Amino acid sequence: MDKREIKSIIEALLFTWGDPLSLKDISSIIGISKEDAYNIINDMIEEFNYNRRGVQIVQFNDKYQLSTRPEHHEWISKLYTPKTSKGLSNAALETLSIIAYKQPITKTEIEAIRGVKCDKALNTLLDKKLIKEVGRLEKTGRPILYGTTDEFLLQFGLKSIDELPELKDLTEIDLENIE
């Protein structure tokens, strides 16, 4: 099978599935190695961008999904009543950013950084499946450790957790003892 045909099939698979599809599924369906599939999909991502296609391939972890481009948002909104869901509250966003950078982390540690209680924010984030329990700390009370989910990567357009914007370098401020 030639590369052109493989690309065509991958596009068809992504289109049909709609949801994120893993590299593993793609490669096993087509019967090629994961490495080959990976390279071909990266080619496709570039081609889609180069040709200014109406859809793009978004990636997070080892999953791929088709979506429209942000710059077309205005046009597509004319088809749909805009999504009514509100963005996250500041409290939830702050809590989420602490978890994202410091995971795994307990509620007490988060609250120590924010200086306020976080129960409500944590519940919202759990409910929206942006964070999950990733374990328990082996100490009194066995406090829950929180971490981010795939849904988090998807909703924030991150390929992986390493892609988080860098935390502002504090060496500039030149303060001792900040970890």
Partner 1 sequence: MRYNVVLEIFEGPLDLLLHLIDKNEVDIRDIPISKITEQYLEYLEKMKDLDLEITSEFLLMAATLLEIKSKMLLPKKKDEGKQLEIEEVDPREDLVKKLIDYKRFKEAAIKLKEREELQRKLFFKPREEIDLDIRNENLELENVKIEDLFKIFCNIMKRNNIETRKINIHEIKRDEISIEESMKRIEKILNEKKTVTFSELFDKNSSRIYIVVTFLSLLELMRLKVIAIKQEKNFGNIYITLKC
Q: Which residues bind partner 1 (CB under 8 A)?
A: 12, 15-19, 58, 65-71, 73, 76-77, 79-80, 82-85, 87-94, 96-98, 100-102, 111-121, 124-125, 127-129, 154-158, 164-165, 167-171, 173-175, 177-178
Rounded Cα distance between 129 and 110, Å, is: 18
When asked if residue 176 is in the footprint of a second copy (CB under 8 A), the reply is yes
Q: Is residue 127 at the binding interface for a second copy, with CB under 8 A as the rule? A: yes
Segment lying near a second copy (by CB under 8 A), choices 8-16, 32-40, 145-153, 160-168: 8-16
- Strand stretches in the chain, DSSP E: 21-22, 55-60, 63-68, 105-106, 131-136, 144-148
Residue 122 and residue 89: Cα distance in Å, rounded? 12
Quick one: which segment of 15-23, 94-102, 144-152, 155-163 binds a second copy (CB under 8 A)?
15-23
Helix 23-30 to helix 34-50 angle (10° resolution) is 110
Q: Would you say 120 and 126 are in contact if contact means Cβ atoms under 8 Å apart?
A: no
| Interacting span for a second copy (CB under 8 A) from 35-43, 138-146, 152-160, 162-170 | 138-146
Rounded to the nearest whole angstrom, what is the least distance from the CB of residue 162 to a second copy in the complex?
27
- The nearer residue to a second copy, 22 or 160, going by C-beta atoms, is 22
What is the chain's percent helix, strand, coil content, to nearest 5? 50, 15, 35
